[in-house]
């Protein structure tokens, strides 16, 4: 393509609008504040997901600090029992549905199209819908806090506690209704984004980007998209049953009517255990991208990594009942699920050995993303080992509902997922903002978090084995848990400090950080082969992919002895220069996904308070968004 003097950058079709579509003209602005409300650009949506997720992470952290203040000493009086219930419920719900899942989806949104050499995702407007549904669903859940009316059943919402009608005086407030409706709304968002990711990964890859050349992070996103697709409807069904029982007197879980309260637990954990892998697999993907770059070696055993990810995805469906060992399932069931749970340790162990193999013999540079990744391996391994102790059912019946379990899942989800998220944010920051994050602050943040994390969660193992129960808002002095709880609370504040350091670092580096350029880490995958920040159209020319770690092989080759040799400049078109002559038809922004999403919380409030005119109003907003969407001219 020759450079012409023509100025147009990106062509957005501006067709004549007729009829209904005239009510709102299709927006065209792609820059400025208001463009964020109508954007269908996967990179902007990805950032929206991540930034919103980090804000919810701060909320969840504040809830955790309040919980820890309450438990710092015996007979705490900072919170009432009911407030404590709401805080730990919302802490868990937030971390799972409003932090872990959306931030992973945010990384996926930003990176998957760049890593597979695509210009956008398969369904840009559905992608936009997913974000707004997530945001409104999250705000809907949090609106319960106005008047201390937030969800208070625990993030799992066990029946019959959650499903008994409020009039029975079983559980005060509308919390359980907020929780069921809020999770149904969030599930809609997750399902749309899963459909979008699957279609994008399967259909939008650049020529030559075969499945076994896909970067490992994209692979993990594809796997969790399938898990989300099949797990979310199961919990949605369970939530509908809870809602119908609570508001309309259905008897799904009423023991007096001969029902089986365990039905709910089976349905919930049939979702809940795949959900655990939905949370951790993206973290594994992020780490698998970072380690090779800073070890200057390809990922050890790429194929095995892909297949062990798939194995975790499959096996994850057959282990749900290990969350229910204490409910009296009977020896045969318990044994079967015990064994199935132990087998999960095999693909997980394979992954850990592969990470070690990646680092082994590499020329390592200990940048802060690398530190977070190494921290991930160590902490996740500890969490994995305590996880295996849960699979042994006699031991598990001792550990159930104690702080030992709290220690375990924080080691895998905080030591695993959150470390990976912070590592990933530091790693890709230069790509997004074209500025490096400050390394000194980055390392300070990492060590504060690493120490704070261990001070917080390691003593919980002991507390659990000494018998401190979860979800209990206070404890007597005679229990002898005072010292360790004090240490745990101090650790929690160290974590808070480390997050503060990260946030300050991010703002400071966003303004003042040194300019990064397209490929500051000498990295391996395609997103580094384009300008930072990536232009709106991503790739001026769709890349042709001929190997795994495509970008690396454009920069390096090997000599006779297998040593790395950098290709002379100009030997291969390694980095694509930004150009202003690209004529790419990109999908136009739209208002309608936002409007459609807005209908959902309105219907939600109507459902919580069984106010039918509000449901009708929400349905009208929803349908208006749907029809506007349907008649909006297509972008292509």
Partner 1 sequence: MTTTEPQLEPRHAHDLEDEAAVGTPFTNAKLGIWMFLSSDFMFFGAFIAAFLLYRSRPQPGVTLFDVVDIPFTSATSFVLLMSSLTMVLSLAAIRRGDMRRMRLWLVMTAVFGMIFLGGQIFEFTTFYREGFTLDGNLNGSTFFVLTGLHGLHVTAGIVWLGTLWMLSVQNRLTTHDEQKIEIAGLYWHFVDVIWIVIFMIVYLVPAPG
Determine if the peptide bond prior to 151 is cis (ω within 30°). no
Closer to partner 1 by CB, 63 or 576: give it. 576
Choose, by CB under 8 A, the member of 52, 94, 115, 196 that binds partner 1. Answer: 196
- Residues 219-238: x where in contact with partner 1 by CB under 8 A, - otherwise, as a string: ----------xx-xxx-xxx
**Closest distance to partner 1 from the beta carbon of 159 (Å):** 12
**Closest distance to partner 1 from the beta carbon of 259 (Å):** 6
Q: What is the DSSP string of 20-83?
A: GGGGSPPP---SSTTHHHH---HHHHHHHHHHHHHHHHHHHHHHHHHHHHHHSSTT--SS-HHH
Closer to partner 1 by CB, 141 or 241: give it. 241
Q: Residue 209: left (phi > 0), alpha (psi -120 to 50), or beta?
A: beta
Q: Which DSSP state fits 160?
A: T
**Closest distance to partner 1 from the beta carbon of 587 (Å):** 12
**CB neighbour class for 1 (10 Å; exposed up to 12, middle 13-18, buried from 19):** exposed
**Closest distance to partner 1 from the beta carbon of 448 (Å):** 41
Choose, by CB under 8 A, the member of 17, 66, 244, 342 that binds partner 1. Answer: 244
Cβ contact 549:556 at 8 Å: no
User: For residue 616, which phi and psi values (nearest 5 degrees)?
Assistant: -65, -45
What angle do helix axes 261-295 and 302-315 make, rounded to 10 degrees? 170
**Residue 469 pairs with which residues in a beta bridge?**
402
Residue 528: both structure tokens together? 């580094």
Choose, by CB under 8 A, the member of 68, 446, 553, 618 that binds partner 1. Answer: 553
- Residues whose CB is less than 8 angstroms from the CB of residue 549 and which lie 6 or more positions away in sequence, other chains included: 292, 298, 524, 525
Interatomic CA distance for residues 44 and 354, integer angstroms: 33
- Residues whose CB is less than 8 angstroms from the CB of residue 167 and which lie 6 or more positions away in sequence, other chains included: none
**Closest distance to partner 1 from the beta carbon of 315 (Å):** 18
Is 194 an interacting residue with respect to partner 1 (CB under 8 A)?
yes
- Residues 14-53: x where in contact with partner 1 by CB under 8 A, - otherwise, as a string: -----x----------------------------------
Choose, by CB under 8 A, the member of 22, 203, 363, 483 that binds partner 1. Answer: 203
Closer to partner 1 by CB, 119 or 435: give it. 119
Choose, by CB under 8 A, the member of 207, 361, 476, 517 that binds partner 1. Answer: 207
Note the helical H segments in 360-438. Answer: 368-391, 393-399, 403-412, 419-433
Interatomic CA distance for residues 284 and 305, integer angstroms: 10
Is 114 an interacting residue with respect to partner 1 (CB under 8 A)?
no
- Say how many residues touch partner 1, by CB under 8 A: 62
Residue 604: both structure tokens together? 């939600």
Choose, by CB under 8 A, the member of 54, 79, 209, 495 that binds partner 1. Answer: 209
Interatomic CA distance for residues 37 and 21, integer angstroms: 18
Choose, by CB under 8 A, the member of 240, 392, 531, 582 that binds partner 1. Answer: 240
Closer to partner 1 by CB, 237 or 584: give it. 237
User: Interface residues for partner 1 in 258-317 (CB under 8 A)?
Assistant: 258-260, 263, 267
Closer to partner 1 by CB, 117 or 442: give it. 117
Closer to partner 1 by CB, 32 or 570: give it. 570
Q: What is the DSSP string of 498-562?
A: HHHHHHHHHHHHHHHSPB--S-TT---SGGGGS-SSPPTTS-SS-----STTHHHHHHEEE-TTS
Choose, by CB under 8 A, the member of 69, 161, 251, 615 that binds partner 1. Answer: 251
**Closest distance to partner 1 from the beta carbon of 245 (Å):** 8
Closer to partner 1 by CB, 6 or 634: give it. 634
**Closest distance to partner 1 from the beta carbon of 186 (Å):** 15
Distances (CA, A) of 619 to 132, 243, 623: 16, 19, 6
Cβ contact 491:432 at 8 Å: no
- Residues 560-599: x where in contact with partner 1 by CB under 8 A, - otherwise, as a string: x-x--x-xx--xx---------------------------
Interatomic CA distance for residues 544 and 117, integer angstroms: 8
Contact segment (CB under 8 A) with partner 1 among 9-17, 242-250, 361-369, 580-588 equals 242-250
Q: Which of 199, 194, 274 is nearest to 234 (CA)?
A: 274
Closer to partner 1 by CB, 471 or 544: give it. 544
**Closest distance to partner 1 from the beta carbon of 544 (Å):** 5
**Closest distance to partner 1 from the beta carbon of 449 (Å):** 36
Interatomic CA distance for residues 438 and 445, integer angstroms: 10
Is 544 an interacting residue with respect to partner 1 (CB under 8 A)?
yes
Distance of CA 341 to the CA centre of its chain: 23
Closer to partner 1 by CB, 248 or 613: give it. 248
Closer to partner 1 by CB, 29 or 544: give it. 544
**Closest distance to partner 1 from the beta carbon of 117 (Å):** 10
Cβ contact 115:218 at 8 Å: yes
Binding site for partner 1 (CB under 8 A): 19, 122-123, 126, 191, 194-196, 198-199, 202-211, 229-230, 232-234, 236-238, 240-241, 244-245, 248-252, 257-260, 263, 267, 544-547, 553-554, 557-560, 562, 565, 567-568, 571-572, 627, 630-631
């Amino acid at each position: 393509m020759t450079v012409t003097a023509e100025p147009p950058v990106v062509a957005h079709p501006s067709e004549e609008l007729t009829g209904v579509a005239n009510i709102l003209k299709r927006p065209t602005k792609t820059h400025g504040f208001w463009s964020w409300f109508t954007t269908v650009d996967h990179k902007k949506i990805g950032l929206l997901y991540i930034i919103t997720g980090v804000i919810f992470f701060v909320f969840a952290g504040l809830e955790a600090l309040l919980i820890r203040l309450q438990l710092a000493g015996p007979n705490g009086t900072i919170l009432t029992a009911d407030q404590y219930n709401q805080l730990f419920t919302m802490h868990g719900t937030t971390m799972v549905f409003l932090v872990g899942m959306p931030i992973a989806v945010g990384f996926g949104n930003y990176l998957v199209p760049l890593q597979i050499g695509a210009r956008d995702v398969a369904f840009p407007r559905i992608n936009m819908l997913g974000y707004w549904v997530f945001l409104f669903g999250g705000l809907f859940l949090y609106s319960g806090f106005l008047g201390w009316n937030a969800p208070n059943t625990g993030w799992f919402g066990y029946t019959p506690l959650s499903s008994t009608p409020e009039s029975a005086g079983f559980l005060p407030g509308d919390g359980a209704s907020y929780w069921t409706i809020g999770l149904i709304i969030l599930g809609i968002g997750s399902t749309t984004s899963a459909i979008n990711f699957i279609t994008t990964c399967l259909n939008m890859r650049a020529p030559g980007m075969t499945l076994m050349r896909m970067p490992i992070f994209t692979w993990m996103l594809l796997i969790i998209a399938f898990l989300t697709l099949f797990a979310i409807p199961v919990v949605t069904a369970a939530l509908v049953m809870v809602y119908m029982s609570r508001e309309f007197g259905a008897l799904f879980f009423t023991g007096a009517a001969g029902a089986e309260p365990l039905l709910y637990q089976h349905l919930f954990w049939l979702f809940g255990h795949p959900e655990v892998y939905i949370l951790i697999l993206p973290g594994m993907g992020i780490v698998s991208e970072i380690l090779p770059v800073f070890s200057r070696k390809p990922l050890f055993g790429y194929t095995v990594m892909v297949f062990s990810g798939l194995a975790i995805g499959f096996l994850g469906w057959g282990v749900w009942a290990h969350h229910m060992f204490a409910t009296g399932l009977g020896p045969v069931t318990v044994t079967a699920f015990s064994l199935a749970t132990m087998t999960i340790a095999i693909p997980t162990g394979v992954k850990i050995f592969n990470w070690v193999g990646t680092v082994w013999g590499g020329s390592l540079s200990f940048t802060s993303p690398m530190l977070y990744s190494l921290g991930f391996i160590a902490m996740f391994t500890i969490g994995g080992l305590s996880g295996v102790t849960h699979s042994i059912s006699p031991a598990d019946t001792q550990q159930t509902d104690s702080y030992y379990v709290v220690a375990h899942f924080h080691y895998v989800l905080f030591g695993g997922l959150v470390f990976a998220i912070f590592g990933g944010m530091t790693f890709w920051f230069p790509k997004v903002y074209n500025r490096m994050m400050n390394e000194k602050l980055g390392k300070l943040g990492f060590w504060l978090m690493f120490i704070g994390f261990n001070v917080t969660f390691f003593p919980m193992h002991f507390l659990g084995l000494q018998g401190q129960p979860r979800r209990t808002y206070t404890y007597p002095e005679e229990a002898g848990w005072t010292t360790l709880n004090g240490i745990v609370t101090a650790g929690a504040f160290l974590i808070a400090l480390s997050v503060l350091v990260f946030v300050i670092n991010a703002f400071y580096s966003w303004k003042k950080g040194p300019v990064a350029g397209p490929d500051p880490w000498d990295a391996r995958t395609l997103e580094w082969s384009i300008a930072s920040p990536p232009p709106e159209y991503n790739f001026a020319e769709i890349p042709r992919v001929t190997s795994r770690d495509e970008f690396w092989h454009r920069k390096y080759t090997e000599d006779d002895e297998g040593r790395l040799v950098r290709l002379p400049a100009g030997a291969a078109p390694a980095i694509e220069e930004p150009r202003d002559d690209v004529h790419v038809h990109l999908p136009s922004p739209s208002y309608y996904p936002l409007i459609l999403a807005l209908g959902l919380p309105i219907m939600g409030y109507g459902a919580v308070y069984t106010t039918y005119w509000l449901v009708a109003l929400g349905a009208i907003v929803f349908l208006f968004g749907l029809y506007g969407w349907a008649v909006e001219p297509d972008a292509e």
